[in-house]
Structures are given as structure tokens and as C-alpha cells.
Amino acid sequence: MAHQDVVALILAGGQGSRLGVLTEFLAKPAVPFGSRYRIIDFPLSNCSNSGIEAVGVLTQYQPLELNSYIGNGHSWDLDRNDGGTYILPPYVSQEGSDWYLGTANAIYQNIPFIDSFSPKHVLILSGDHVYKMDYSQMVRTHTEVGADASIAVIEVPWEETDRFGIMNTDENKRINEFDEKPAHAKSNLASMGVYCFNWSSLRRCLIEDEADPDSKNDFGHNIIPRMLDEGLFLYAYTFEGYWKDVGTVKSLWDTNMDVLDTPEVLDLHDQSWIIYSKNPQRPSHYFGPKAVAERIAISDGAEVHGEVRHSVISVGAKVEVDAVVEDSIIMPGAIVKSGAVLRKCIVGMNTVIGSDVLIAPEISDENDFVNNRLCEAGISVIAQDLVIHDGAQISGNSMIGPGDAVTHPHIVSEMPTRYSY
Amino acid sequence: MAHQDVVALILAGGQGSRLGVLTEFLAKPAVPFGSRYRIIDFPLSNCSNSGIEAVGVLTQYQPLELNSYIGNGHSWDLDRNDGGTYILPPYVSQEGSDWYLGTANAIYQNIPFIDSFSPKHVLILSGDHVYKMDYSQMVRTHTEVGADASIAVIEVPWEETDRFGIMNTDENKRINEFDEKPAHAKSNLASMGVYCFNWSSLRRCLIEDEADPDSKNDFGHNIIPRMLDEGLFLYAYTFEGYWKDVGTVKSLWDTNMDVLDTPEVLDLHDQSWIIYSKNPQRPSHYFGPKAVAERIAISDGAEVHGEVRHSVISVGAKVEVDAVVEDSIIMPGAIVKSGAVLRKCIVGMNTVIGSDVLIAPEISDENDFVNNRLCEAGISVIAQDLVIHDGAQISGNSMIGPGDAVTHPHIVSEMPTRYSY
Amino acid sequence: MFVNAMGLILADNQRVKLGPLSEPRALSAMPFGGRYRIIDFLLSNMVNSGIKRVGVIALTRYKSLMDHLGTGASWDLDRMNQGLFLLPPYINPMTRSSERSDLSSIIDYIETGSQDYVVITDCNLIMNTLYNDLLDRHIESGADITVMYNRDALEYGLPNISLMLDEEERLYDVLADSHTVSTEFSSINVAVVRKDLLLSVLEESRSRGVTDFTFLRLLEFYKQLEIKGCEHKGKVFRINSMANYFKASMSLFDDDLRHQLFSEVTPIYTKVKNQPPCLVEPGSRVNNVLASDGCIIQGDVENCVLFRGVTVGKGAKLRNSVIFQNTQISNDADLNHVIIDKDSVVKMGVRLLGHPGFPVVIGKGSIV
Amino acid sequence: MFVNAMGLILADNQRVKLGPLSEPRALSAMPFGGRYRIIDFLLSNMVNSGIKRVGVIALTRYKSLMDHLGTGASWDLDRMNQGLFLLPPYINPMTRSSERSDLSSIIDYIETGSQDYVVITDCNLIMNTLYNDLLDRHIESGADITVMYNRDALEYGLPNISLMLDEEERLYDVLADSHTVSTEFSSINVAVVRKDLLLSVLEESRSRGVTDFTFLRLLEFYKQLEIKGCEHKGKVFRINSMANYFKASMSLFDDDLRHQLFSEVTPIYTKVKNQPPCLVEPGSRVNNVLASDGCIIQGDVENCVLFRGVTVGKGAKLRNSVIFQNTQISNDADLNHVIIDKDSVVKMGVRLLGHPGFPVVIGKGSIV
């Protein structure tokens, strides 16, 4: 295998359980975003734009759709002869077989893969963040300051520091302490889950960590503290710009709405840092003779015949005549039939919302679908590949999955196929 | 995902334990063959030449090198937009996680993948056979005779029928009985491990078989007998031509020697049925001023300065001056140093045979490396990435692996890297 | 699983004039339908039919065609042995002029293909169809050449081919751009011919000093060869005038027609661009609008086709217009029956008013 | 990780004559070393240096070059936004002759690139090197153009460029094909220039009616611009005569030189072919032979380069010869100092005898 200075590893194996039914048959990085993207488009495009040509995607949970989406990496210009994208699932060796147990263990199991490129640096990235970042700049700074590891950090509001892993640093941005979700933070520099390591240092730490039976084999919990204990130089690389973790229903909804409300912040029009995605071969989207569209994002193959306000309409989605969609995310291929009214609703891929269905926060009679653990702020979530029958009324904070097709067949039923690829 | 009439699944997950140290860090289908190929080149090239554009490769055991070799399928012209090659490892779903338990279970776990193409027919292929076969002809015949399943069979010598799965058929080639390794065969039609199924029939059988706790979830042991019991129409599709299972050291050696002794039989020069492989970017091979070469096959990047007779010299292998190599297979990147003499030897990738080493069947003092369980006919096997120290003398039927570097460090040592990619 | 045919696309037709829109590009490179070029339809029909080897004869103005086709990956034609072949003219090294041996490159391409049949299409057809029936019919009938036709009424004076077919659909006369005689059979310039026959026809033409290859020239062999017609039922647009181009664009607001032309079963493939989603801002109106990725719409738009990256400013009013890629319509502009080529700017408050049969046409990169 | 330069390869040089070998192909498409063409070295040096956007100016005889380059995948140049650009001449649609605006396509290519520097190489250089040092030197020195040179003695009367450099390596005169004056500095026709400077130079040339772009024309700007030399140490072959081509081929039997030219660290990439392994049959002799996949050797071969798919029959004797792809040397043929182009047949018992300085050259597809 050809030498590569930098190898990037994207952790894409997590179940994303806080997204509930959206990730029941889908790895979180494959969740649709912003009308025409999947979340993993962001780290993959960042790699491509940063000139990184060897990218391993560590998968474990429901990888089929993700694998098909990534394919040979062509869409991100990452189908290279001596590099490109590699899907890295767990595997069996003569020493036995192991599922990935933690983020560090997942990388540990792929040491031979990384070794094959003899890299100087390894980037560890998350598959579920929305941001634009030049990793090559981070690697350059990492090299210039002579760090063993660099952790990208972003300033978060002080009142939110208890939700993040906080890095306490000296005046030279050398990290001297790592506080996981501190009640009383000493700094507001939160880890973005973007790490740059010298491969030789990381390799040794991974092997030591693996040998420690008490370790959870996690980067945040084990590897970083271990490196700090050893006195290695961990540098806090400050990132300025838009960065969102889309791990909850609320943050997924918020981040989608940012595309509408502050398009200049994430700036998807930036020609110098294109966010690539797998382009569907669909015609231009169409607004019918009676369409109403106000503050929406819409993509190839979609058709709007009804009224759509402040919503994200994804590839191939359809809103029929007299339907009303507001403050909602309609994922690829979903159909909203005539007379339906949706407010604050996330509709999964290929799901059909029947005629005159009403889903809205203001529906007050709480029904069986309400899930206040995962849903908040009135946002409802309908899983992919379902049919909501005509006339159903569903209150806010609802979450409807294929299981409800069994218990409430008169309201929900499941469509024959579950995989869209 | 686009519709595909035929989806091919290549079973590439087996450990290939009868090849011993050759497959310690390598899946069997990735074992080098015939100077410039890997075994999996044959089923992949057959798919490509047969016009099959959706090929799933089911991996489980030591898949890294195999995955890297297959890459995006470009080398076999199988990097298609709506199809191409897919690596299919085991994965975790909400129902839990399972390694592939048997050949049928491996396909069962990938039902959603196959469904996504809505195929009429599914081909199940082995990743460890050397043959050229037009699968499209098999599918055509399968359709014409109206079979539920077709099994490719080849006539074997009657005295060898006890080594194969034998198909007993009526005069119309309808299979009425399946005899696994019969002591007294009624037919000499052996299954080649190439199956064509109507997807609807196979899909149902896989689900039923999975529900049967007594099943070993194996095609030969369970699925085929189940289909026969149900009275389905199983057709024996007769293949005429070269076909070899390379699952043992002896058969791997024999099949390599066939490339030298009967090149017209497998006919790798056939321009109408090219066997593709991942082309290394190496210069033309070179014969030095004192080279002797007689009945050899040799490829890009190899250099011969010594004497080579009746041997297969692979990509990038080197035979130094005054070295003698006879009846041997030198795998990619291996080096035979000056004065070494090798007879009936399989040398793994990147292994270095030191100066004046002697490995030959006629060395009579049996040493610790002899392994009569896996080696026969005097053939010795040296694993990949080892160094055999200068002057060592090793008798025939030896098998040397990395473990011997621990127990016999004065004779064998291990090279720093174990992965060649 | 293999279709025993290779494709040949005649990528330009000098006789079709689309004013300033033709200047920078071959006819088959004409943008159409918001994100396509005409050649996307020609290529997709072949690829969807299972044809895996396509030659594109591009004698002039082939720069934009080359840029669009790239490696052929968008049509899955970046193949090892098959794939996409752009056939440029041969250039004489000494005189630096074309050797007038365009036929040589065609002959070369056809000779090296392993398929027994060639599907030839002209450059100006917008339709979504499969050629498999045509191919089967051709092989069954034993004809030398089979040509597609339908019964569309052809307009006088435009580059068209009318066919005279007997009751067995056998061709006995060809009328080009007929001004006087009207027939009931109108050629859709798609034909199938056996590889070896096409080769011998081309070799003979070359030896007689013929230098170019057109669809009409092929049909004129009806005197020596048996040419048969094969009726086609689906909708076909023949782009042979500005008015027809405009009419075809405006017909895309018909749901049935649009869904037929951009079928999900047989998609029309085009070059991948990575534009962000289209944003429709508050205060805008969009009715009967086909819009594309990267557009930003703030104005009042009706009966329009907007290509990728078009921006429509506040207060701008667009009616019955086709706006090509990356063109900017500034605030308060007022356009009706207008076609504007790519990378242009219509300044604030500008008014342009055309007529359905005579749309106002603005060339590439203009500032109005 | 990005190199801030795009590449430009001048793919042909009309002044270099290699007899019948040049007829079917541009100079950069000349086969060399068993499985390569010269352009493989030019492209690989760029790609190995990290350059990801390469334009190839192919004005004539570009068919074999197009076939060889394909989608650019072999050099990893089948990229979405960067990659390989073949720049054919523009053809005037009316006159069907080249518009004599070769410069236009070069200007167009350079303008649309995002990199700030352009690495330009001529078509006839066989070497394995990286351009990163040259680029760094160029940027540091602040020169307008930096050109590679070494101190090889150049032969009189061959297409070569000698440089007159002062003690600060500044160019003050250029001598082309010098017959009389010999300098100690010999140009290796590789240069770096800032994108905007190259554009202004090209625009100025075009406006003055200049139609072509050669390496010599670039260096002649030494009067207006600061051109500096940058010495190169590794081995370079300048293919500018049949004798030099032959000499370069014969030097490949030197282990050190061969390993330097085909380094595993900076490999030379070439078009993938799927030929089976070479078979050497009993009764053959192979000494100092560079042979390739698909060869079948049954004869006595010494000091020869055999390209892919060459067959050497029983009793045939080959000495000091270069045999191109798929050529068949029949039984008992006897060749010494011979170069045979591809797809040829040397019949049984035929004898051909050349001289090191004047090898016998047999054109493509010959039957001898």
C-alpha cells in the first residue's frame, strides 16, 4: 500500500439511540440532513477538501445503507487507486473475533490497516457532526507546535459547558486537564471529537489501553487521560465556525432549521469548500400551479403542490395539493398527501403521510405515541418506510416506529421494504 | 438501488485452515495464484465477463487484505454507479449481532442487501475455485428449463467421487438426490459450489432454515436437501472445462503447476474471457546476465538472476544469482538469496529465504517443521513476512509459520510487517 | 445480460440553428430541463437499454461536450474495455487542418467493438425510451437498417426527415426538410444496423471521397439496402428550431409528460454537480416552476425553467422563461418569453418581452 | 498536503523525428521500457509530486494518446474537479480547419485552474523525479520562470536547448540545436512559472498572432523576464533521435539505473492491461532481458526489451533489440540491433542486422 502522511478514521459504528426510530434501521451517519445531504457527507467532504486520500469508515451498527451510500467513495472524489475510502467492519482473526467494544478498541482492531499506510498522523473523526473544517490546517499546526496529540476544541457558551468534554489548557493551549461534562467548568473549550495523533504515540497507547482490563476502551474516557497522565503534549486546536452535534432529535431539527434561517453561517454555497453528496439522478424539483413556498430548502426530484413554510424538503419528497407542511423536515422520498397538516415533524425516508393526517404540537390529547424521553419542543418523529393512515391525528412529541404498526395497525402500517439504499 | 436481474454473492469468509500458515493472516480467496493473480480474481472476472454488475463479497475471516485487494472493484471493471462490488461483513442490528455461522446464514443475514436490487436470480459462488465460467449461460439455461435452483456440476473421475458432493439426476438433469462424499456413488457429477437460485424460492428457504434450530445453516447440508424435500425443481447444469478447488496445499501446488504444464487448458491468453487482476505498478520483469529460466511463469517487477525451473515466480519476487528454484511457487515480493536451493516449496509473500538455505523433499533428517497433516508429496510451505536465516536446511513436507519464529529464532524470524496489502 | 449492440451518437448538426445558444456548443450539448443537456437523453437511453460502448462523433465545438462528458462516470461509462469514446476529427500534422477523414475515426471505433449491431442516433432528440424492442424487431425482420419513426406532423422548412414507407414499413423514398410534400411518417433519427454492413457502407463512402456522415446519408441507402421503419409511441421532441426548443421547455409543466420524460425506472443521467439545495425565501412566488439545486429564489416566478445556481432577486418577475446555469436575475427585473444562456446578469429593473414563437434570446455571459 | 501547482505537458514535438515509429503517434506516446510510453514518466513525475490537475496539449496524432490516457484512472487522475485534461485544437465549425488558436485552449485550461503555479514539461523526457524542490526553489528565488538543467553533453544537430547561465544561474541566452557553440548547461525541458505570468505571456503571444507554444518560445522570454536555472542530478534521457532512443533502451540492463528509473517509492504508472504472466519455455535462453506480461519465449534472447504479448519462436535468436507489443518473432528468425513496432510479424528464418547507431526500424503492423 502506498504511503500516506495522514490517515483519517471516521467512527460511524454507533447506534445513535437518542434519535430513536430514525436510526432503527440506519446508522446515525447515514441520517439525511439539509434536503440533499447525509450527515457523513460533512466529515467525508472535509477529508476530500483537506487533501486526505486514505479514509477508513468504522462501521458496526446497521451498516448496509451507509456502505451503499459511501460505495467506492466516488461522490467525494475519494475513489483513489492507492487510498480512498475503506469500510472497516469488525472481523475474525486467528486470535478470535470481537465486535468493536469502544471507540479506542475499534481503532485498536484496525492497527494493521493503519500500519499499511505507514502514516505520520492519524485523524480520528466522528461520523455525526455537521461542520466544515480544514483538517490539513490542523495537522500543520499540530506539527508546528510539536504536539503528540491535538484535540479540536470550540468555545461553547459557559452555561452549556456541562454538556461537553471540556479541555483546560495553559496559555500555550497545552491541555493539562480533561473534564467530562463538568458541573463547574474551568474553561469553555469543548472537545469536538476531532483528534489528530502522532501514529506512533497513539499506536502504543491503544495497545496499552487494550491490555488494561478496567478500561472502557474509549478515546475520551481512557486514551486522552492516559496520554495526559504520561505527560504527553496534548494541544487544544481552536476551531472557529459552525459546528453541531446532531445526536438528538432536537439538535437534528435545530441544525436543519439553521440551513433555512442562517444559510450564511454554514454557507453551503461556498465553492472553495464544497460539501459533496451522492447525487441522485432525479429531475429538477417542481413547484405546481398552486404551490406556496416560503423559506424552504428543496432538492432534486421533489415536488411541491401544497403549502410549505420554513421546512426542509429532501430529494424526491412530495407534498400534494392542499397539504400544509411547516417547521418540518421531510426526508428523501417521503410523501405528504393532500389535506395533511404537519407542524414540527420529522418524516423518515419513503414514509407516506395519508390524506388529512394532522400532526402538530398543538394537538393536545396526548396519545400512545408521545415519547418525552427522546422528543421535546413539540417535535414529532415518524420513522422511515411507514404509512400513516388517512385522517390520523397525532400530538406533538410523538415518535412512531415500525413497532407501532403492530400495536396500532389502524393508524400506522409498515411498507413492504425497509431499505432504500 | 437500481434493479439488477442477477446478484452474485461470493462466499469469501472461510478460514481455509487446510492451507495452514498461508491463511494465518489472509482469507483464502486472497491467496496469490499463477504468478499475478489472487484466487478471487477468477469468480470476480467470471462475474465481470458474464455481465453481472452487482457482486457481494461475504467476508468474515481476516478480511483486511482481501478488502484492500478488491477495493472499489475497478480492476475487474466492477466499480459501477448502481452496483459493482460490495464487501459484506457481519454487522449489528437492533435485534443483536451475529457472526456468519454457516454459508446459508451468511446469505440470510444479507437478505436486505439482496432485496435492495429486487433480483430475479441470485448466484452463490465460492471464493476459492480456479475456473472460467460464463454464469450468464447458466442463468439462461436455468430460466429455459424453469428450474427453482440450478447447481453447476462437473464430471469427476469415478474413483474420486468420495471427495465431492455428488448429484444424482434423472435423464433430464433434474436432481433427485444429493450425496455428500458418498462411499459408493451413483453418479460422477460433482457440485462445483456454484448455485443459481430463483431469489423468491431461496429467500423463503433461508428464512425457514434459519428458524430451524437443528440446522447447520449450510447450503450443501441444509438448503439443497430442504429444497429437494419440498419437491422443488433442482437442475444439474453441466460445466465442461477446467475447474479446480485450491483448498489444500497439494491442490494449490498442482493448480499452479497446471499453468506451466498445460497452459492451453485454463488458457489465460484467451482474449474473450480475460482474467482481471489488480495490476501492480511495477516495471517489466528482468532476467539477469546469468539467469537460467525453463518452463516458468513470471510477472511484472520480478527479477531472476539465478536458475529457475518449472516454477511460478510472482509479481516483484526476486531470485538472486546462484540461487536455484525448482518446482516451486514464489509468491509476490518474496526474495530467494544467492546460493539458496528450493525444491517443491511455496514461499509466502515478502518472505526472505536467506543465502545457502536448502529446502527440498530429499532432505531426509526430518526436523521440527514437518507437518504431514497439511503437507504432502514433499511440498513445503513458508508463511508470508518471514526470514529464513542463511544456511538453514529444511526437509520436505515442512510448514513454517510465525509461531516458529518464537520457538526457532535461530532458523526463522518474523519481519516487522505482516500486512502487504 | 449483454445487449449485442454498440452506440454511435452524431453529436452535432450544422443545419440546426439555435441562434446565440448554438455558438458555444454542439447541438447535443444544449442545456434542457433545468439540469440536463440533450446528450444526456441520448446517452441514458442507450445505457438504460444495456448498451455499454458508445462513440460520440464530435467534429466541431466539442469543448463543452468534452467538459460535460468527462470520464463518462455519470453514465456509468467509465469502463475498462467498453465505455465512452469521444471521436474527434483527425488532424493532419503538417497542414494543421482536418484531414477530411471523419469517416476514418468512425470506422475505427466500429471496427474495434465486439458487438454485432450499432444503434445510431442523431443529436437533437429529447425522449426517454429503450432501444431493445427496436433491436429485436431489426433482428427478426432481417432488414439491413431499421429506423424509428412516428406520426408527428413535421413543420415545413425545418431540418426534418420524412419517410415514404410502404405497407410493410419498407422505405422507398426520403424527403429532407420537405417544403411541399407531407407524408404521414416522420423519422425519429434513431437507427439500427449490423456492424459489418455499416462498415462496408462507410468504407464505400470513404473510397468515393465522401467525408462526413449524417443520418440523412444513411437513409439515402434505401436504393441499395432494405430499410424498414419501426413505429415509436412515446413522446419525442425534435429540437430543430428555437421555437421548438422553447415549446419543449414550456411543456415540462405537464405532470404526466414530465414524469414520462424523467421516469424513475429509466432515469436520465447527467453530470454530477455539487450544488446546495435550492432556497425559496419568504415573499417569493413559485408556480409551475422547474428549479434546480443552488437556486436562490426571492421573486415572483411562473412557468419558468431555472437551471442550477440561478438567482432571482426581490421584486423580480419572471414569466414563461428559461434561465440557464448561474445566471443572475437582479431585483425588480421583469422578463416574459425569454431564454438566457449561462453566466449572464440581468440588471435591476430591466424588462425583456418576447413572444412564444420568438422568445428573446440572450447569449452566454451577457450583461443586460 | 496540496501542491499549489497544476501541470502542463506539451505532448508532441514535430522537430524530433523517430522515423516510422513517430508516424502513428505523438512523441510522448512512444513506447519505452517494455510496458510504458514516454508520457507515463511525465505524468507519474507530476502525480508523485502531488500535482492533481494536468493538461496535455495534443495538437496532432492524438488518437493513440487518447487511447492510452483513457479516463486518467491509471494515474489516479480520474478526478471530479481536478484530473486529466486533454486539450485538443479548436476546430472552426465552418472551414473544418484548425483555428490556429492552440493558445486559446491552453489559456482556457490554465485560467480555470485554482493553483498558483504551473509546471510545464516537454514531451521527450525519460526520468523519475519529483518537482517539489524545483517548485520550492522557484518560489524562494522570486524568479519569473525556473527551468531545470543538467550538465549532460548535448549532441550537435539534434533538437536540444543549451542554456547560457550566469553565476547566479540567471539565463542570458538560449541556443537551440546548437551546431557550433557548446555550453556547459543543458536544458531539461521542465519549467515552473506563476499562473498569472504564464497567462499574460500567452495572451500577449496570442494577440501578436503567435499560434503555437513550445518550450523554446517560453525560454526566449529571457529578455523580458527573469529566468533562472535549477540543476537536476538524477539520470535523464532526452529522446531526440532514433540512436538516443535505442541507447536509452539498451541502458535498462544496468541494475542501478533500472531501479532508479522504476523506483518503488515513486512508481511510474501506466495503463493497466490484463495480460497473463510471461511464460518462458524449456530450450530458451534469456539473459539481460526485460520482458513483459503476456510474452511467450521459446528462443534465445539477449540484451533485448520485449513489450507485452511478444512471442519468440523456437530457434529464434534475438540480440540487442527492442520489440513492441504483440509482435511475433517466428521460429529461427535472427535479429540484431533491430526495433520493431507493434503488431508486426517477423517470419520464419528472417535475418535483420542493424548497427548500434543505426538500428533497423520496422514500422507498426509490418510483415517481414
Q: Which residues of A26-46 are buried (b: 16+ CB within 10 A; e: fewer)?
A: bbbbbbbbbbbbbbbbbbbbb
A-chain residue closest to D269, CA distance: A81
pLDDT at D13: 83
User: If DSSP codes are grouped into helix, strand and coil, which group holds residue A140?
Assistant: helix
Query: Is the domain of C286 the same as that of C334?
Result: yes
pLDDT at A238 over 90: yes
Identify whether the C-beta of residue C155 lies closer than 8 Å to the C-beta of residue C237: no
CA distance A213 to A215: 6
Asked if C79 has any chain B CB less than 8 Å from its own CB, the reply is yes
> What are the cell numbers at A93?
482473526
The dihedral through the CA atoms of C149, C152, C154, C158 has a sign that is: negative
Helix residue ranges, H only, D169-277:
195-207, 215-219, 242-250, 255-261
A-chain residue closest to C269, CA distance: A281
pTM for this prediction? 0.89
Give the end of a domain, one of D228, D261, D294: D261
pLDDT at B314: 97
Give the end of a domain, one of C231, C261, C291: C261
pLDDT at D147: 96
Beta bridge partner(s), residue C37: C31
pLDDT in tens, D138-188: 999 999 999 999 998 887 778 889 999 999 999 999 988 766 656 789 999
pLDDT-derived band of residue C179, with 50, 70 and 90 as boundaries? low
Tally of CA atoms within 13 A in the half-sphere of A325 that contains its CB: 37
A-chain residue closest to D82, CA distance: A77
Phi-psi region of A202 (alpha: psi -120 to 50; beta: other; left: phi over 0): alpha
Query: Is the domain of D231 the same as that of D335?
Result: no
CA distance A352 to A338: 11
Query: Is the domain of C240 the same as that of C317?
Result: no
Domain total in chain C: 2
Residue C40 lies in a domain: yes
pLDDT at D177: 75
Highest-pLDDT range among B12-21, B213-222, B274-283, B285-294: B285-294
Query: Is the domain of C191 the same as that of C239?
Result: yes
Per-chain mean pLDDT for chain C:
90
CA distance A149 to B404: 37
> What are the cell numbers at A255?
441544525
Q: What is the DSSP string of D157-185?
A: TSS-EEEEE-TT-BEEEEEES-SS---SE
pLDDT in tens, C298-313: 999 999 999 999 999 9
Residue C135 lies in a domain: yes
CA distance D285 to D308: 18
Residue C367 lies in a domain: no
> What are the cell numbers at B98?
451475529
Q: Which long-range contacts (CB under 8 A, 24 or more apart) does B264-267 make?
A: B266/B130, B266/B132, B266/B242, B267/B132
Query: Is the domain of C313 the same as that of C352?
Result: yes
pLDDT at D102 over 70: no
Phi and psi of B106, rounded to 5°? -60, -45
Q: From the DSSP assignment, how many helices (H) and strands (E) are in chain C?
A: 8, 25
CA distance D75 to D356: 34
CA distance B257 to B312: 8
CA A13 to chain centre: 11
Predicted-complex ipTM score: 0.86
CA distance A330 to A306: 13
Q: Is B5 exposed, middle or buried (0-12, 13-18, 19+ CB in 10 A)?
A: middle
pLDDT in tens, D234-282: 999 999 999 999 999 999 999 999 999 999 889 999 998 899 999 999 9
DSSP state, D116?
Answer: S
Q: Is A214 exposed, middle or buried (0-12, 13-18, 19+ CB in 10 A)?
A: exposed
Q: Which residues of D touch B34 (CB under 8 A)?
A: 276-277
Average pLDDT over residues C24-47: 94
Beta bridge partner(s), residue C185: C163
Residue C343 CB coordination number (10 Å): 15
Strand locations in D11-88 (E) = 31-32, 36-37, 53-57, 83-87
Average pLDDT over residues B7-35: 89
Query: Is the domain of D231 the same as that of D341?
Result: no
Query: Is the domain of D173 the same as that of D289?
Result: no
Query: Is the domain of C11 the same as that of C120?
Result: yes
Asked if C24 has any chain D CB less than 8 Å from its own CB, the reply is no
Distances A342 to A60, A327, A347 between C-alpha atoms, Å: 34, 8, 9
Average pLDDT over residues B277-285: 91
**Helix (H), strand (E) at residue C107:** helix C102-111
Share in percent of chain A as helix, strand, coil (round to 5): 25, 30, 45
pLDDT-derived band of residue D209, with 50, 70 and 90 as boundaries? confident
Query: Is the domain of D242 the same as that of D288?
Result: no
Please, what is the angle between helix D195-207 and helix D102-111, to 10°?
160
The alpha-carbon gap from A158 to the nearest alpha carbon of chain C, in Å, equals 33
Beta carbons of D280 and B293 less than 8 Å apart: yes
Residue C266 lies in a domain: no
Average pLDDT over residues C250-269: 94
CA A350 to chain centre: 20
Residue D271 lies in a domain: no
User: If DSSP codes are grouped into helix, strand and coil, which group holds residue A376?
Assistant: coil
**Helix (H), strand (E) at residue A126:** strand A121-126
CA distance D206 to C285: 48
Q: Which residue has the cell 440446522?
A: B215
Average pLDDT over residues C340-364: 94
Query: Is the domain of D13 the same as that of D130?
Result: yes
Beta carbons of C277 and A287 less than 8 Å apart: no
Residue C75 lies in a domain: yes
Average pLDDT over residues B43-59: 93
Task: Name the residue facing D81 among A51, A77, A80 (closest C-beta).
Answer: A77
Query: Is the domain of C239 the same as that of C293?
Result: no
DSSP state, C97?
Answer: B
Q: What percent of chain C has pLDDT over 70?
A: 94
The alpha-carbon gap from A301 to the nearest alpha carbon of chain C, in Å, equals 9
Identify whether the C-beta of residue B248 lies closer than 8 Å to the C-beta of residue B20: no
Domain range spanning residue D180?
Answer: 5-261
Q: Which of A343-347, C37-41, C320-324, D109-113 has the lowest mean pLDDT?
A: D109-113
Q: Which residues of A touch B109 (CB under 8 A)?
A: none
Residue C272 lies in a domain: no
Distances B41 to B29, B128, C133 between C-alpha atoms, Å: 8, 10, 35
Average pLDDT over residues A176-203: 93
Q: Which residues of C112-133 are buried (b: 16+ CB within 10 A; e: fewer)?
A: ebebebbbbbbbbbbbbbbbee
Query: Is the domain of C72 the same as that of C191?
Result: yes
Length in residues, chain D = 368
Give the CATH number, domain containing residue D309.
2.160.10.10
CA distance A232 to C218: 77
Q: Which of A295-304, A346-355, B76-85, C246-255 has the lowest mean pLDDT?
A: B76-85
Beta bridge partner(s), residue D294: none
Helix residue ranges, H only, chain C:
38-48, 63-69, 102-111, 132-141, 195-207, 215-219, 242-250, 255-261
> In chain D, positions 243-302, which contact chain B (CB-CB < 8 Å)?
253, 255, 258, 261-262, 264, 267-270, 272-274, 276-284, 286-294
DSSP state, D156?
Answer: T
CA distance C260 to C267: 10
**Helix (H), strand (E) at residue A324:** strand A324-326
pLDDT in tens, B203-227: 999 999 999 999 999 998 899 999 9
> What are the cell numbers at D102?
492552440
Q: Which subunits sit against A, judged by 3+ Cβ pairs under 8 A?
A: B, C, D
pLDDT at A225 over 50: yes
DSSP state, D91?
Answer: B
CA distance A197 to D159: 52
pLDDT in tens, C93-127: 444 444 445 677 888 889 989 899 999 999 999 99
Average pLDDT over residues C139-166: 90
User: If DSSP codes are grouped into helix, strand and coil, which group holds residue B65?
Assistant: helix
Length in residues, chain A = 421
Give the end of a domain, one of C212, C233, C261: C261
DSSP state, B365?
Answer: S
Residue D290 lies in a domain: yes
pLDDT at D86 over 90: no
pLDDT at C94: 45
> In chain A, positions 52-91, which contact chain B (CB-CB < 8 Å)?
59-64, 67-68, 71-74, 79, 81, 84, 86-87, 89-91
> What are the cell numbers at D32?
519505452
State how beta strands B386-388 and B412-414 pair: antiparallel
> What are the cell numbers at B386?
518471514
pLDDT-derived band of residue A303, with 50, 70 and 90 as boundaries? very high
Give the CATH number, domain containing residue D228.
3.90.550.10
pLDDT at B418 over 60: no
